[in-house]
A and B are shown apart, each in its own frame.
Chain A
């Protein structure tokens, strides 16, 4: 019983370290896109929502799942799109007007 949990804990802890190493290197210039981008990534909970909404267990689970799918999708789609919109604006040295 304890072993699958332990593996998950390993993965969790190691992923936190990967996150620290990667994100420490992001310059302040990009902190807002970083935040809206990671925000969209936290919408990964959509994967869980899909399972809840589609498992057809009971109507209550399905309704809760459906709600979760809707708001997680807003988070994912909106988050990635707005990040893209922002990053598009970051341009280098336009020559003189």
Chain B
């Protein structure tokens, strides 16, 4: 019997890996997700046949309640709210791992193996940190908590002290597993640390936070796997841990930040260095200028930023793109990795507006084409097109990969005002001769351009 279970877990692991592999291409991604679903189903069914399980009442009740809530959330959630939903689910995964560690601790009989008790401490700690950290991230993204960084004096010192305290109590519990007060203290420390880690991190750094928490929820599951000596948990946990780590690294690189800088730095409070507090003039143009410019272009590249989604202008933008394409103009979207509130978020928002994915190009694939384009239309983006990231060593953006909008023949920027982006840096692109600024709500501006083009 045990052999069959072990082989079924192996089959499930293989399906999980194949599922992830298929997630690598938009053509096969949906099938990949379905493969992972069937892998999960196999793992669950096989587990239910284990003879360790004596009572099914609570299991069935739990599965029904959980599924119902899950289905409702998945159906109702708006695509713009995807980051907070993923944050919430990360927290639930971490929380479940912590609960399992507690339940298993309570189930211990006699002298436990040392590796089991170590895994329990680790699983409880990571799971609980992930739980509260994710809830704070959820609150910030949902607007329930002020998204600006919340920092207090000696916070770093306090965090490190708490962590050292965790290590000490962890060792005590490992030496004397019967010390349940110690275990509960660890739980309390972890819950507090989760809050303290995420509170000081500002809204703009959320993509990194979500990716890191994603990684943590995987590692918590893997640690639970060590507690139960269950390989499927270890394998899946490792896969998710690796995935979250890769995404964290990509996001850090795209934002020009290191993870230590984000966790310990004064994130989002960057000092505005408008040293050259310039009196440079910006010429404001009208939608009519823009429509003439767009109509006479042969190649157009569109750079959407999160401001587009805030203005809910992605549907109007796609209408504009369709009109341009029908006029035989070559139109493409250039997507910066941090356009949105989580990795790849802008792609999903545009896909929802029926934008075909072969119009969406990553920074690396399109950046050399800007110099050959007639018009670049920037909607609701700022820092990701700031040329000072390339040249100005004093800019907070220096070194960050940007979209080379300034190399196009002309630039149209739809923006509410001249205010700087999250970095606080002034954007030279606004002041170029070839730049036309259109101030106002992105949706209204685009609709006005559409009207003019249709006329």
Interfacial chain B residues near A47, Cβ < 8 Å: 43-44, 47, 230, 232-233
- List A residues 64-97 near B (Cβ within 8 Å): 64-94, 96-97
Give the docked Cα–Cα distance between A12 and B240 (Å): 11
A62 to B: closest C-beta gap in Å: 6
Contact of B53 among A2, A13, A24, A51 (CB under 8 A): A51
B448 to A: closest C-beta gap in Å: 20
Is B20 in contact with A19, judged by CB distance below 8 angstroms?
yes
Of B142-150, B344-352, B379-387, the one contacting chain A is B344-352
Known: A38-B20, A68-B99. A43 touches B33 (CB 8 A): no
Is B40 in contact with A19, judged by CB distance below 8 angstroms?
no
Is B92 in contact with A72, judged by CB distance below 8 angstroms?
yes
Give the docked Cα–Cα distance between A88 and B352 (Å): 9
Task: Across the interface, name the chain A residue whose C-beta is closest to B9.
Answer: A47
Interfacial chain B residues near A44, Cβ < 8 Å: 40, 43, 221, 232-233, 236-237
Is B96 in contact with A81, judged by CB distance below 8 angstroms?
no
Is B107 in contact with A57, judged by CB distance below 8 angstroms?
yes
Interfacial chain B residues near A31, Cβ < 8 Å: 247, 250, 342-344, 347
Give the docked Cα–Cα distance between A69 and B48 (Å): 13
Is A35 in contact with B210, judged by CB distance below 8 angstroms?
yes
- List B residues 184-220 near A (Cβ within 8 Å): 210-211, 214, 217-218, 220
B117 to A: closest C-beta gap in Å: 12
Of B68-76, B295-303, B410-418, B424-432, the one contacting chain A is B68-76
Give the docked Cα–Cα distance between A1 and B224 (Å): 18
Is B211 in contact with A35, judged by CB distance below 8 angstroms?
yes
B182 within 8 A of A: no
B357 within 8 A of A: yes
Interfacial chain A residues near B86, Cβ < 8 Å: 32, 35-36, 39
Give the docked Cα–Cα distance between A38 and B210 (Å): 12
Is B106 in contact with A61, judged by CB distance below 8 angstroms?
yes
Residue with the highest number of chain B CB atoms closer than 10 Å, among A45, A69, A90: A45
Interface size on A, residues (CB 8 A): 87
Q: Is the interface of A mostly helix, strand, loop or mixed?
A: helix
B322 within 8 A of A: yes
Give the docked Cα–Cα distance between A69 and B34 (Å): 22
Give the docked Cα–Cα distance between A20 and B92 (Å): 24
A15 to B: closest C-beta gap in Å: 4
Is A91 in contact with B354, judged by CB distance below 8 angstroms?
yes
Task: Across the interface, name the chain B residue whose C-beta is closest to A64.
Answer: B103
Give the docked Cα–Cα distance between A76 and B221 (Å): 13
Of B21-29, B280-288, B388-396, B437-445, the one contacting chain A is B21-29
B331 within 8 A of A: no
Interfacial chain B residues near A88, Cβ < 8 Å: 30
A38 to B: closest C-beta gap in Å: 4
Contact of B29 among A33, A74, A79, A85 (CB under 8 A): A33
Known: A71-B66, A75-B93. A51 touches B47 (CB 8 A): yes
Contact of B79 among A35, A50, A86 (CB under 8 A): A86
Is A73 in contact with B17, judged by CB distance below 8 angstroms?
no
Known: A8-B231, A42-B237. A81 touches B322 (CB 8 A): no
Known: A25-B24, A34-B344, A45-B97. A75 touches B30 (CB 8 A): no
Is B73 in contact with A74, judged by CB distance below 8 angstroms?
yes
A41 to B: closest C-beta gap in Å: 5
Give the docked Cα–Cα distance between A69 and B322 (Å): 47
Task: Across the interface, name the chain A residue whose C-beta is closest to B348.
Answer: A32
Is A68 in contact with B96, judged by CB distance below 8 angstroms?
yes
Give the docked Cα–Cα distance between A83 and B220 (Å): 22
Interfacial chain A residues near B71, Cβ < 8 Å: 77-78, 81
Is B344 in contact with A32, judged by CB distance below 8 angstroms?
yes
A75 to B: closest C-beta gap in Å: 4
Is A50 in contact with B69, judged by CB distance below 8 angstroms?
no
- List B residues 28-48 near A (Cβ within 8 Å): 29-30, 32-34, 36-37, 40, 43-44, 47-48
Interfacial chain B residues near A34, Cβ < 8 Å: 20, 23, 243, 247, 343-344
Interfacial chain A residues near B259, Cβ < 8 Å: none
Interfacial chain B residues near A61, Cβ < 8 Å: 103-104, 106-107
Interfacial chain A residues near B162, Cβ < 8 Å: none
B234 within 8 A of A: yes
Contact of B85 among A69, A70, A82 (CB under 8 A): A82
Give the docked Cα–Cα distance between A92 and B157 (Å): 52
Interfacial chain B residues near A60, Cβ < 8 Å: 103, 106
Q: Can you report 21 A-B residue pairs in the complex whose CB atoms are below 8 A from each other?
A: A11-B234, A12-B222, A12-B225, A12-B238, A29-B362, A31-B342, A33-B344, A39-B93, A44-B43, A50-B53, A52-B103, A62-B58, A73-B63, A74-B69, A75-B96, A76-B66, A77-B67, A82-B85, A83-B33, A88-B30, A94-B356
| Given A32-B343, A35-B243, A42-B237; 6 other pairs, CB 8 A cutoff | A5-B226, A31-B344, A32-B82, A35-B344, A67-B62, A79-B74
8 closest A-B pairs by CB: A73-B66, A31-B344, A19-B242, A69-B62, A77-B70, A78-B70, A15-B238, A54-B53
